[in-house]
A and B are shown apart, each in its own frame.
Chain A
Amino acid sequence: MTLLFGIPLSVLLGQLLLGLINGAFYALLSLGLAIIFGLLRIINFAHGAQYMLGAFAAWLGLSYLGVNYWVALLLAPLLVGAIGMAIERHLLRRIAGEDHLYGLLLTFGLALIVEGSFVKLFGVSGASYPMPELLKGGYNLGFMFLPTYRAWVVVAALVVCIATWYMIERTRLGSYLRAGTENPKLMQAFGINVPLLITLTYGYGAALAAFAGVLAAPIYPVSPTMGANLLIVVFAVVVIGGMGSIMGAIVTGLAMGLIEGLTKVFYPEAANTVVFLVMVIVLLVRPAGLFGKEA
């Protein structure tokens, strides 16, 4: 058996693949954060709660209305996106133009309210979302057993990430969005409805979080606190990638998944911490993150 750093190559391959799967989640979540930050200049602390809402919407839909996984994958993001748009219109808009800090605090407060209420309603043990029939089982890759669902997660997440990137970087709507990021006043003068654009953007960011939530539902316990712990890691990913950078968020998300995967083999105790170590190093070398532009 080929050994690499004292670890069989096959084991290492398996771990890298798992890292990539986690990275896909990070990419999806940090993408939403990056888009929101790009246009609204708000650090969306409610992102974890929106992720949790997506998972809960899927679970509640299945338990009480018989909505299946595939429909939930479409409906939950729409629902959470709509809630996000309402939040933007009625709350975030009031503090537009104030210090970034206030956006962070407002969304943090919202996250506390939503998560606290869900704990009260559903407890913290969480619920179990059944694996969709079509995605049960797995493939034996020789070096590891790959559950079908995990393979699906990578594919789905990457497709959504790339589609989002394409939409922002290559379409007319995206060009408005990018221009709005650079100079909202000028855009307004050109007759573009910037407030609407902002509302849609926040809604889309929230929808991405909810989509990740539905993807996570069958493999992680659906619990009110599922997003809170993930959030801080996703922040780190966005910062490493460069705040507001779309490509940065996607690439860094995947890369952090891989780095974390390797840490879990060589120094598992530090698996939750390694992302912050990377963040310190990156910010020391490149103050605006890997893909960010120096302000």
Chain B
Amino acid sequence: MKAFQKTASAILASTLIASAAQAAQISDDEIRIGYLADMSGTYRDLAGPGGLEALKMAAEDFGGTVDGKKIVIFNADDLNKPDVGANTVRQWVDERNVDMVTGLVASSVVLAATKVVEQADKLALISGAASSGITNEFCSPNHIHWTYDTYALANGTAKAVLGAGGKSWYMLTADYAFGHAMEADITKVVEGGGGSVVGKVRHPFPSSDFSSYVLQAQGSGAEVIALANAGADTVNALKTASQFGVTQSGQKLAGMVVFLNDIHAMGLDVTQGLMLTTGWYWDMNDETRAWAKRYHERVGSMPTMAQAGVYSATMHYLNAVKATGSDDTTTVRAKMAATPINDMFAKGGQIREDGRMVHDMYLVQVKTPAESKGEWDLYKIVSTIPGEQAFRPLAESQCKLVKDQVAKH
């Protein structure tokens, strides 16, 4: 009965929104989507060309049109440069009247691009970026952070490792804003859970040689070495740790921002046993496997969570456009928030007022070579972290949109 009421009210709400938006309709009689990502640099394999393919899959699954209005896709390489990214988005909205921008990987590019999107009152659906600041101090009504963020990753992994008995921690931090923020997040979890941080080293970003830092971490005698860095830095640190016998000497490694493509590149010999948090994994159920199989046929590798996130975010967006018959930002954003996300990516996902898409995260462990049955059979799911626990609670938010709400009540 309750479910029926819920559905009924949802239908009612959507018809109301739809009728209100009837006047807005679809601008230019096209739904224009821009895909902005690093297509040639460090983050290419995380989202890059694969994410664009995922976006195209979403458009094709919609039949290429929404109620007869064509879906048009633009794409660009941001070269990981904020000025290039911001300029591209500015040009898209000024010249082509693009309705929605997705992809969005390097945090610095995302911050620059979302400023432009906000000014132009368009919508950005961020899948690739990590920084939790995107929906905290940098939040806006014009962007939604879809797949994961540093808070969720650090929180999930640190809690799990702490729970498994790692009480004394050593931090290996990338020396820039992102690394510092993550270091703070982890420290909070560790100290809140009765552990202690016994030491830390901040390495330049990026670094190629980690032997010195690993040796310092080893010498600290800490039970856990946390890697508050990302991408190539994490990969290098993990490889080095394995050569210096860190795990043999009883220390545990906790990688915070590690993606499927990183594990694949490093191989299971080096990464086996590593605990990490992910927003999605291709081998979770029939639905994810079916989608991943289609993706694999087109791209030649298995999708990362960022690539799956692009598909999910786009589908949800297109559904909202279809339901409201409009591509007006406010209308679509409201409809997206009013509709729970139920697809191959998330079950019962919700978009909060700060723009965070809250969904379950997964604590996984990297398989041993013996356990792995194929090139991409890399994770085993240890536990599911419910969405409410995974992401930064609104009570701790610095987002201006949330503060407004609190003030009103």
Contacts and interface: CB of A to CB of B under 8 A. Distances in A.
Are A and B close enough to touch in the complex, i.e. CB under 8 Å? yes
Interface of A: 8, 11, 14-15, 18-19, 21-22, 116, 119-120, 123-128, 130-131, 138, 144-145, 147, 149-150, 219-221, 223, 225-226, 229-230, 261, 264-265, 268-273
Given A119-B41, A268-B212, A270-B204, 14 more contacts: A14-B219, A15-B216, A18-B212, A18-B215, A125-B262, A138-B243, A138-B245, A147-B244, A147-B245, A221-B265, A225-B41, A264-B216, A268-B175, A269-B203
Contacts of B212: 15, 18-19, 261, 264-265, 268, 271
B107 interface: no
A29 to B, nearest CB: 12
B236 interface: yes
Interface in B193-212: 201-204, 206-209, 211-212
B187 interface: no
Contact of B219 (A11, A123, A124, A269): A11
A124 B42 contact: yes
A144 B211 CA distance: 11
B265 A268 contact: no
B360 interface: no
A223 B232 contact: yes
A126 B265 contact: yes
A272 B204 contact: yes
Contacts of B261: 123, 125
A272 B209 CA distance: 10
Interface in B32-88: 40-45
Nearest to A274: B204
Contacts of B269: 128, 130
Given A138-B245, A145-B245, A269-B175, A230 B239 contact: no
A192 to B, nearest CB: 40
A221 B211 contact: no
The 10 A-B residue pairs with the shortest CB-CB distance in the complex, in nearest-first order: A125-B265, A264-B212, A272-B204, A128-B267, A125-B45, A147-B243, A123-B45, A18-B211, A124-B44, A269-B175
B218 interface: yes
B321 to A, nearest CB: 33
B232 to A, nearest CB: 7
B216 A127 contact: no
A128 B265 contact: yes
22 contacts: A11-B216, A11-B219, A14-B219, A119-B41, A124-B43, A124-B44, A125-B235, A125-B265, A130-B269, A144-B215, A145-B244, A220-B208, A221-B265, A223-B232, A261-B212, A265-B212, A268-B204, A269-B175, A269-B202, A271-B212, A272-B204, A273-B204
A220 B236 contact: yes
Interface residues of B, number: 39
The interface centre, meaning the residue of A8, A226, A265 with most chain B CB atoms within 10 A of its CB, is: A265
A230 B208 contact: yes
Nearest to B41: A124
Contacts of A220: 208-209, 236, 239
Given A221-B235, A268-B203, A272-B207, A128 B266 contact: yes
B80 to A, nearest CB: 11
The interface centre, meaning the residue of A124, A144, A230, A269 with most chain B CB atoms within 10 A of its CB, is: A124
A219 B243 contact: yes
A126 B235 contact: yes
Contact of B243 (A125, A126, A149): A149
Interface string B241-259: 0011100010000000000
Contacts of A149: 243
Interface of B: 40-45, 175, 201-204, 206-209, 211-213, 215-216, 218-219, 232, 235-236, 239-240, 243-245, 249, 261-262, 264-267, 269-270
Contacts of A125: 45, 235, 261-262, 264-265
Contact of B215 (A14, A124, A221): A14
B202 to A, nearest CB: 5
B352 to A, nearest CB: 32
A130 B266 CA distance: 10
A41 to B, nearest CB: 29
Contact of A226 (B40, B202, B204, B208): B208
Contacts of B235: 125-126, 221
Contact of B40 (A11, A116, A138, A271): A116
A229 B215 contact: no
Contacts of A116: 40
B199 to A, nearest CB: 12
Nearest to A221: B235
Contacts of B215: 11, 14-15, 18, 144
Contacts of B209: 22, 220
Nearest to B40: A119
A53 to B, nearest CB: 17
Nearest to A272: B204
Nearest to A25: B209
The interface centre, meaning the residue of B243, B244, B249 with most chain A CB atoms within 10 A of its CB, is: B243
Given A21-B211, A145-B244, A220-B239, A119 B265 contact: no
A125 B260 CA distance: 11
A230 B42 CA distance: 15
Contact of A264 (B213, B232, B264, B270): B213
A249 B265 CA distance: 34
A230 B232 CA distance: 14
A117 to B, nearest CB: 11
A221 B243 contact: no
A268 to B, nearest CB: 5
Given A11-B219, A145-B244, A145-B245, A271 B239 contact: no
Nearest to B245: A145
B95 to A, nearest CB: 28
B343 to A, nearest CB: 27
Contacts of A229: 206, 208
Given A123-B44, A147-B244, A149-B243, A265 B216 contact: yes
Contacts of A219: 239-240, 243
B210 to A, nearest CB: 10
Contacts of B270: 128
The interface centre, meaning the residue of A126, A226, A273 with most chain B CB atoms within 10 A of its CB, is: A126
